[in-house]
Amino acid sequence: MEDQIAELTAQVAALQSAAGTTNTTFAETFYYLTIPLMIIIHAGFLAYEMGASRLKNVLSSGVKNILAFAFMIPTFYFFGWWVYWGFPTGLTLSEGPAGISGAAYASSIAWGWGESAQYMGPNIADQASGVFFGAFALFAATTASIMSGAVIERIQTVGFVILAIVLGSFAWVVAAAWGWHADGWLVTQWGVHDFGAAGLVHAVAGFFALGVLINLGPRIGKFNPDGTANHIAGHNMPMTVVGLMLIIVGFWGFLMACVIVPGEAWSWFADKPATIYGTPITLSALSFNILMAVAGGIIGSWVLTRDPFWMMSGALAGIISVASGLDIYFPAMAFLIAFSAGIILKPAADMLERMGIDDAVGAVTVHGTIGLYGVILLGIFGSGYPALQGAEGEVATISFVGQLVGAVTFFLLGFVPGYVVSFILKMLGMLRVSAGAEQVGMDKVKVPAAGYPEGIPAPAVNLAPGE
């Protein structure tokens, strides 16, 4: 009898071990797949920005976007990842209530200065940190690409790279540590909830771009002496619209990576699918709400503009407007909020233009204004829902005041460093290209290649006989 019990115990232990290995492998694969999906976002931004540029600037816009992606990976590795784990409680490197932040924790998990060997080679004890790092690094790259579109056709390449590093590997990371972390002080003290990063990624990046645009100034010819604006069309609207659709595809990976899936490798929330805050979430809820948000944003913009550019921008705005509460909203609510975002999108962009801001692709409005709109709306429609599931069962709840505090914080974490760093670059002559280079086209002076060496043929015109 004792032998049978011992054998059964060994079999149960073996099954538990196999299940743990399976769960861990699934968790690792899950995040591994979010990375190429999020890279599709950057393929979308690349096409979107090149299409929105005039023929003389198409390649310089592409180069800038490629560099934004490339510089985020090493800079996020060397210090951005460490900031996320070290500073959730403020700027003191102190440990938070969930025990997953502070100096000691950051030093063990954020390996940028030489500790990554423990995750490499034959050591497979950790099957989570590398892929989780990869997902976060792509969030960082997304912030830089958001800012990239707003400043096309007149910014210096080196100045842009410096701004991208500050945004992607510092500014948004502080916002994430404070408002997208179980130890974040915005979460524990104010109940801030931003599941899909509408505020801490999109609004931070959008208002960082606004700070830069104030110092960068408009493109030559954008505004008339009386302050009225001229439309500067890109050279390829179909490329721009397809690029926007690719960003929508990549959003599925972005929002997948906001889910904590069970796995033995995790030291937190290992028993259930959860948000970054430990509250419940399912991929089913995401599927309903993302699709409804895309549709709502497109329809709202179509009702007002009939313009394919704003319709596809409305799709982005729709997702961003509900991103904070994708884990809470019912599909009908997601559709209505996204529809409202599509309606207000173009008027909000026009208002910014009337203020003398030349945002070439509407990034400040789509990501900044709509991002904060979504954060604040969750304070109305999600009030009373749990914002955080604490380690000992205590629950912080969502409130309008808390979401407003979060919105103001995200605005400041974007706008202030964007304005200050771009002001310094302007004083050093590193922000804007010369007027001559801008007029002749940045491709001729910045890129040793031609986007369309044979030109783009003019469309054929069918003339009636005798004309």
Which token pair is 268?
Answer: 């937190």
Domains detected in the chain = 2-90+98-113+127-446 (1.10.3430.10)
Measure the CA–CA gap between 335 and 333, rounded to whole angstroms.
5
Tell me: pLDDT of 129 over 90: no
Tell me: pLDDT of 91 over 70: yes
**Beta carbons within 8 Å of 344's beta carbon, 6+ residues apart:** 370, 373
Q: Which residues pair with 260 in a beta bridge?
A: 274
pLDDT at position 102 is 86
Phi, psi torsion values for 16, nearest 5 degrees: -65, -40
If you average pLDDT over each of 100-114, 129-143, 351-365, 393-407, which comes out highest? 351-365
Helix and strand numbers (H, E) in the chain are 18, 2
* Mean pLDDT to the nearest integer, 8-13: 49
pLDDT at position 106 is 78
pLDDT at position 36 is 93
When pLDDT is cut at 50, 70 and 90, the band that residue 115 belongs to is: low
Which token pair is 204?
Answer: 């931070």
Q: Which residues pair with 280 in a beta bridge?
A: 274
Measure the CA–CA gap between 174 and 182, rounded to whole angstroms.
14
Tell me: pLDDT of 16 over 50: no
CB atoms within 10 A of CB 74: 14
Which token pair is 52?
Answer: 């929105």
When pLDDT is cut at 50, 70 and 90, the band that residue 455 belongs to is: confident
Beta carbons of 137 and 76 less than 8 angstroms apart: yes
pLDDT at position 24 is 67
pLDDT-wise least confident of 87-96, 168-177, 187-196, 424-433: 87-96
- First and final CA of the chain: distance in angstroms? 104
pLDDT at position 100 is 82
When pLDDT is cut at 50, 70 and 90, the band that residue 166 belongs to is: very high
pTM: 0.90
Three-state DSSP class for residue 280: strand
Kindly report, residue by residue over 306-356, the tens digit of the pLDDT.
999 999 999 999 999 999 999 999 999 999 999 999 999 999 999 999 999
pLDDT at position 263 is 55
Three-state DSSP class for residue 223: strand
Measure the CA–CA gap between 151 and 142, rounded to whole angstroms.
15
Of the candidates 3, 56, 18, which has an alpha carbon nearest to the alpha carbon of residue 450?
Answer: 56
Higher pLDDT, 355 or 78: 355
Kindly report, residue by residue over 146-161, the tens digit of the pLDDT.
999 999 999 999 999 9
Tell me: pLDDT of 431 over 80: yes
Which token pair is 29?
Answer: 């694969």
Measure the CA–CA gap between 274 and 391, rounded to whole angstroms.
13
Tell me: pLDDT of 461 over 90: no
Tell me: pLDDT of 174 over 90: yes
Beta carbons of 413 and 184 less than 8 angstroms apart: no
**Beta carbons within 8 Å of 49's beta carbon, 6+ residues apart:** 61, 62, 64, 65, 148, 149, 152, 243, 361
**Beta carbons within 8 Å of 97's beta carbon, 6+ residues apart:** 183, 188, 390, 391
**Beta carbons within 8 Å of 443's beta carbon, 6+ residues apart:** 56, 57, 58, 59, 60, 449, 450, 451
pLDDT at position 309 is 94
Beta carbons of 10 and 206 less than 8 angstroms apart: no
Measure the CA–CA gap between 244 and 31, rounded to whole angstroms.
23
When pLDDT is cut at 50, 70 and 90, the band that residue 1 belongs to is: low
Residue identified by tokens 């591994």 is 32
Measure the CA–CA gap between 372 and 320, rounded to whole angstroms.
9
Residue type, 234: G
Measure the CA–CA gap between 282 and 260, rounded to whole angstroms.
10
Three-state DSSP class for residue 62: helix
